[in-house]
Amino acid sequence: MHIDKYERYWMVAAALMLGAFFAALLASSVVFGVHLPDPAGRVNPEKLSETAFATPGLRDMGDNHYEAHIVAQMWLYNTGEVVDGVPTIRVPQGATVTFNVTSKDVTHGFYVEYHNVNMMIIPGLISRGTATFNEPGTYRIVCHEYCGNGHQNMTAQIIVEPSA
């Protein structure tokens, strides 16, 4: 069987690229410790009333650390507080917030604007992410996974109040 020299070059180039991608994947997981996030826990979406998600909201853990329990459902985030029709979380400037989020119905997204919190919210799993809010202002939480006809309206907000 005859293989043209240019075809052979392309086959070698493709094999080298696959090898490079595999080496990068191996290096990122073994050397740099990059891995997929594990769920923080599991919960039965039909029995949320028997868990910490029965009363969504912000909990003060002391030393300017907070935990937010949030339930995502079509087409809103239940944060325990609503301001001007928008689900809201209020924290002081410099607060560190750990978000514990689960879904009641379908897969949702959870992205906190200008912060390193970007999670997929899957029914039955608890997703956890932490952010520190050093600048006062209002930061939006948006759903980035299509969850139905009202998806574009699924937002919440974090109000960071200036320290006195």
Q: What gap in Å lies between CA 71 and CA 119, rounded to an integer?
A: 13
| The total number of residues written for the chain in this structure | 164
Question: Residues 30, 35, 41, 46: what is their CA dihedral angle, to the nearest 10 degrees?
Answer: -140
Which of 29-43, 108-122, 142-156 shows the lowest mean pLDDT across its residues? 29-43
Per-residue pLDDT of 62-84, as tens digits, reads: 999 999 999 999 999 999 999 99
Q: What is the pTM of this model?
A: 0.80
Structure tokens at 131: 């952010």
C-alpha of 118 from chain center = 3
